[in-house]
Amino acid sequence: MSATAETALYERMPFDPTAPLTPSGNLRRRAVVSRFVQITATAAAAFAVAVLVIVCYGVAVRGASALSFDFVVENPSGLASGGIFNALIGTLEIVAFGALIALPLGVMTGLYLTEFAGPRSRTARVLRLALDMMAGLPTIVVGLFVYGLIVIPQRRQSGFAGGIALAIVMLPLMARSSQEVLLLVPGSLREAADALGVSRWRTVLSVILPTAFGGILTGAILATARAAGETAPLLICDSIYNTDTTSLNLFHGVPSVSMFIYTSYDLPLTQAVIRAWGAAFVLMVLILIANVAARLLLARSRGRMAR
């Protein structure tokens, strides 16, 4: 049939045969609404990414002018010149100390919940609730707690107190992430170990932990990165320190990057504010690098566990 003949045929018909295929009326309205929602959702995601970019860009632009190699490897001299080396080392000390406490405890809590407690265990339920509550503690309250627990009896702020506070921030995150990874370990591995007559604790040490290692490490990096950026607990527990020197004694005030930013911004010196931006930039870069690294690691270990 030729094209003109076809058209002629359609014209002779009492109805349009393509009508059910082209949205009209109610169907068109539904399609438009749906399209609108999809565009809105896409815009929302774009907005979130844009906010991240704006924040990063804002910090980078303002921090760049303070940045130099010396800024990272020199101690400050006075309030408006020098680098932030002592603050970087201090953050490292406090966070490492906190991680030393929180990471093993977190992993063990996760192990208890997944490997040792039964699925209907009442203690496990209480513990899960406690972990939830701990994760929900405002970090400033963690600071208050450690202030009452350690700073008041010792009569001075210290990196030790700050580290304990950060440990409390990290612990629930660590417990949570290791729990999630441990649940991914195939049950067949446990059954195989059980069938060989291996005791539970040996199974945990030699089968389950090695299998879940990548995921646990990811959680550890992310929890540590979170703690490294915390300011509120340090403000309360470790904010009085010698600003110009590196402190290696955890039982005295230890400088930290976040406290450096917090105090420098308050100074009526342009140079101090610029240095605060520089420190913020360094802190942000370190944390974002840790996050990206952790995610890459996670993707790799997930892939390996699925194999």
Q: How far apart are CA 200 and CA 173, in angstroms?
A: 25
Q: How far apart are CA 90 and CA 160, in angstroms?
A: 11
Nearer to other proteins (CB atom), residue 196 or residue 205? 205
Where in 181-240 is the site for other proteins (CB under 8 A)? Answer: 200-201, 204-205, 215, 218-219, 222-223, 225-226, 228-232, 235-236, 239
Nearer to other proteins (CB atom), residue 157 or residue 247? 157
Residues 238, 256 contacting (CB under 8 angstroms): yes
Residue 72 near other proteins by CB under 8 A? no
Residue recorded with tokens 């009085």: 240
Residue 283 near other proteins by CB under 8 A? yes
Where in 4-63 is the site for other proteins (CB under 8 A)? Answer: 30-31, 33-34, 36-38, 40-45, 47-49, 51-52, 54-55, 58-59, 62
- For the bound state, the minimum distance from the C-beta of residue 125 to other proteins, rounded and expressed in Å, comes to 10
Where in 113-172 is the site for other proteins (CB under 8 A)? Answer: 113, 115-116, 123, 126-127, 129-142, 144-145, 147-149, 152, 168, 171-172
Using CB atoms within 10 A of its CB, is residue 301 exposed (0-12), middle (13-18) or buried (19+)?
buried
82: left (phi over 0), alpha (psi -120 to 50) or beta: left
- For the bound state, the minimum distance from the C-beta of residue 278 to other proteins, rounded and expressed in Å, comes to 12
Residue 243 near other proteins by CB under 8 A? no
261-279 b/e (C-beta count within 10 Å ≥ 16 → b): bbbbeeeeeeebbbbbbbb
Nearer to other proteins (CB atom), residue 77 or residue 300? 300
Q: How far apart are CA 164 and CA 99, in angstroms?
A: 9
Read off the tokens for 11.
Answer: 């014209």
Nearer to other proteins (CB atom), residue 9 or residue 152? 152
